[in-house]
Chain A
Amino acid sequence: MKILTANRLIDGEAVWFSTAHRWSETIEGSEIATDKAAEEYLTGIARTATENNEVVDAVLIDVQLADGEIRPLRLREQIRAAGPSNRTDLGKQARPAVSQAA
């Protein structure tokens, strides 16, 4: 199970590709690829968004669903999705719960 993430070119903000087919500033609502074809689709999105200079470092990451919420497998990606673990007042974790579209 994979989702597509990147950093937005203009400000470096961590973003995820959402089911609404746009780059979202939070991980909720990410488009999930559960088979090869869906992964290839996301890889194509990554390529186009990179070529269009919308994002940099676009990459597919492994996730799982926990109580219906998307959770990255790697700690690195969990921290990216939340913010610094020593500063819960910063990053995505400091935002109101409603997801914000990019």
Chain B
Amino acid sequence: MYRYDEFDHEFVKARVAEFADQVERRLAGEITEDQFKPLRLMNGVYLQLHAYMLRVAIPYGTLNARQMRMLGHIARKYDKGYGHFTTRQNIQYNWPALSDIPAILKDLASVEMHAIQTSGNCIRNVTADHFAGAAADEVDDPRPYAEILRQWSSVHPEFSYLPRKFKIAVTGAERDRAAIQTHDIGLHLKRNTAGELGFAVYVGGGQGRTPMIARKIRDFLPEADLLSYATAILRVYNLHGRRDNKYKARIKILVHETGAEELARQIETEWEALKDGELKLPEADVRAIAAYFAPPSLPARPEGDERVKLARLDSRSFSEWLDQNVTTHKNPDYAAVTISLKGIGEAPGDASAEQMEAVADIAEKYAFDELRVSHEQNLVLPHVARADLKAVYDALADIGLATANSGLITDIIACPGLDYCALANARSIPVAQEISQRFASPERQRDIGELKLKISGCINACGHHHVGHIGILGVEKKGTELYQVTLGGSADENTSIGEIVGRGFSPEEITDAIETVVETYLRVRRDRSERFIDTYRRLGAAPFKEALYGSEAKAA
């Protein structure tokens, strides 16, 4: 994985010193909150309901055991013993004291981590496929490009005060696991007919109060032109983005108001002037960065098949976990393992300090010191010998992290919601917990099959409800919580925005409503091979509306 060079170390160290000085001056009363707020946000520090919140960047979701151990250490020493992994592959701490944050950042810097650009109207943490470098279906590893974008965008003088925040995601496979079409820029790494690497470029995706699917503005951008083209996009956006209205300031609105074709024309014109300049990526530099991401040397472990076969016969729970949480690796002796942070009835994405440390130990012992955070709020061991899968399973089971539910209805994405967040209108976590408990039975979950359920506690949509097969949006109505249900969303290569199915449900009704939707699906699906999303696309909302609202739906 990427290692800091001397410049990176100095840069992060200088930034920690700068922010430590700003915190000191704030606490001494030398600067006001109005002056301090933009500075703290640039360093990932928010103020929420109960305390400050610190969001730490995990670039493209990749980290090693030492870094994970440090995240556990911070949770224990400065917070309340846990952290929350987010839908942008970062981690949030919910209780740090402002006075401790300089020390936390110093600890993070000691393991090549930081909280820079995890907030504010700048280019945020670049996210990538969590199976990058391991997935059997990828053209190439997308992370070197995410790293190039990270270096380019870090304190970029022209793009540090954009009209609004800006999110980029990169995938290296046809099967999109990075939700690129819901990002401001989505990049799909591919090869052209000549075998050269480049990108399909998508622009203007986003969720929030105005969900939009990104538009493809270029089918193939040569690898060397990545930064000049990204600069052209950002320049057009920076110039024409709506600074007059926060709710219309994202690039998706510009794409919508200008039209994708016209905007693409403007971007291409800007790019013409940039493409042969200093932003052209030298081949040697790209390869040098790519070398950091070379997969570990994976020794042959042909005994895996036999071992897995025997272990399956011996343990039903292992067998279920194998079917659900283990993904095909490009090396047939190996597999990628999803560590579910969605234990039945648990808060999605939360992990205790002890769990983080234990996962770090497992990564060191069995997974070549590599870990990932997925945007679905799980952890991933990208390279595990199939022969070691049972040992990994046993070690995960010991710390309560062997739930076999990856991609199933209890693998819920949920934002922190009103239990923590100052922007939220309704709670998310308790809704997720109750649904998880209702569908706790592994047999029932497997019978339902792939089902992406996503919950947001406000219209900002951090819980990705718009692109959930089933989405739940919490709102406040007359002082109480109300939950709207959307159906038919998807965040993969066939991205779609879910449609609101009808009137909302009270906290007491919402789990029953979800169960009604699921039971309806089970009744009307063709067979087990037809997933929820396929059934919805075939039949539309009608059977679900009928089941939820009955005669009420007919009257409407």
Given the contacts A85-B427, A86-B347, A56 and B33 also touching, CB distance less than 8 Å: yes
- Does residue B51 face the partner (Cβ distance < 8 Å to A)? yes
- Does residue B140 face the partner (Cβ distance < 8 Å to A)? no
Contact B50 A50 (CB under 8 A): no
Complex Cα distance A87/B429, Å?
A: 10
Cβ distance B39 to chain A, nearest Cβ, rounded Å: 14
User: Per-residue 0/1 for A10-25: is the Cβ within 8 Å of any B Cβ (1 yes, 0 no)?
Assistant: 1111100000000000
Complex Cα distance A66/B419, Å?
A: 22
Contact B33 A10 (CB under 8 A): no
Question: Which of chain B's residues 192-237 have a Cβ closer than 8 Å to chain A?
Answer: none
- Does residue B479 face the partner (Cβ distance < 8 Å to A)? yes
Given the contacts A73-B479, A74-B479, A80-B50, A12 and B97 also touching, CB distance less than 8 Å: yes
Given the contacts A52-B29, A56-B33, A84-B420, A13 and B51 also touching, CB distance less than 8 Å: yes
Q: CB within 8 A of B99: which of A10, A53, A84, A85? A: A10
- Does residue A7 face the partner (Cβ distance < 8 Å to B)? yes
Question: Which of chain A's residues 41-69 have a Cβ closer than 8 Å to chain B?
Answer: 50, 52-53, 56-57
Q: Give the residue among A73, A76, A83 with the most B Cβ atoms within 10 A.
A: A76
Q: Which residues of B contact A7 (CB under 8 A)?
A: 47, 51
- Does residue A79 face the partner (Cβ distance < 8 Å to B)? yes
- Does residue A101 face the partner (Cβ distance < 8 Å to B)? no
Q: Which residues of A contact B32 (CB under 8 A)?
A: 53
Q: How many residues of A contact B (CB 8 A)?
A: 25
Q: How many residues of B contact A (CB 8 A)?
A: 31
Given the contacts A12-B97, A85-B430, A75 and B50 also touching, CB distance less than 8 Å: no
Nearest neighbor of B476 in chain A, beta-carbon distance: A75
Cβ distance A26 to chain B, nearest Cβ, rounded Å: 13
Complex Cα distance A90/B481, Å?
A: 22
- Does residue A102 face the partner (Cβ distance < 8 Å to B)? no
Q: CB within 8 A of B27: which of A9, A13, A14, A80? A: A9
Complex Cα distance A11/B347, Å?
A: 24
Complex Cα distance A75/B477, Å?
A: 11
Cβ distance A5 to chain B, nearest Cβ, rounded Å: 11
Cβ distance A25 to chain B, nearest Cβ, rounded Å: 11
Pairs A–B under 8 Å by Cβ, sample size 9: A7-B47, A9-B27, A9-B98, A11-B51, A84-B50, A86-B427, A86-B429, A87-B419, A91-B50
Interface residue ranges, B against A (CB under 8 Å): 26-27, 29, 32-33, 47-52, 80, 95-99, 347, 418-420, 424, 426-427, 429-430, 433, 476, 479-481
> 8 tightest A-B contacts by CB?
A11-B97, A12-B51, A12-B52, A84-B419, A53-B29, A86-B429, A80-B49, A56-B33
